[in-house]
Chain A
Amino acid sequence: DTGVSQDPRHKITKRGQNVTFRCDPISEHNRLYWYRQTLGQGPEFLTYFQNEAQLEKSRLLSDRFSAERPKGSFSTLEIQRTEQGDSAMYLCASSTRGQTDTQYFGPGTRLTVL
């Protein structure tokens, strides 16, 4: 069990640029989640995958955001035309199937939009 990994750990970009983050879940986990955490707040759910299928998206996920999990393994989160309000920590988590199963979190990618 190598844990959930995320890349990059930090990203600084200019407003209007596109950015892409990667998440590698724990290998045997079917579910993968994306959350966003802003300063002084708890994480907020963005979206999740069961294998390669994206099953739920929060209304926080505007049309500038897109997430994929093409082979049911790693996932990418892309933000197009970044805005300063997108500055946040983006957290990825994974779990086996089930509501009571523990979600294991990665270290996060901190995005700063200038």
Chain B
Amino acid sequence: AQSVTQLGSHVSVSEGALVLLRCNYSSSVPPYLFWYVQYPNQGLQLLLKYTTGATLVKGINGFEAEFKKSETSFHLTKPSAHMSDAAEYFCAVSEDDYKLSFGAGTTVTVRA
């Protein structure tokens, strides 16, 4: 069975600073990995996903993530935070053919 651990339930960054959200997974097979963002009172929106191929994945809104098999990690970064990045972020893994297993989420606040 797979599981996802997101380190840090809350992250606060200054506008213009680096955003780094950590995600580690446990998986017995090569996983498919996803990052979703959730704004208040909205559903989840896909930021990016890793399936196969290049381990550095670029997503929407300037986010990117790197799959590191040796570290079982899939950390999400953005070089320069914007006020609109304030939201909750979820890392997810898919091993089976159907379901996603999500981490507990990291809430990002951006300070002006």
Contact = CB atoms under 8 A, between A and B. Distances in A.
Interface residues of B, number: 26
Nearest to B101: A45
Nearest to B52: A100
Given A102-B46, A103-B100, A105-B43, A42 B51 contact: no
Nearest to B102: A42
Given A40-B104, A42-B104, A99-B32, A108 B99 contact: no
B82 interface: no
Interface of B: 4, 9, 32, 34, 36, 41-46, 49, 51, 90, 92, 94, 96-105
Interface of A: 4, 31, 33, 35, 40-45, 48, 55-56, 58, 91, 93, 98-100, 102-108
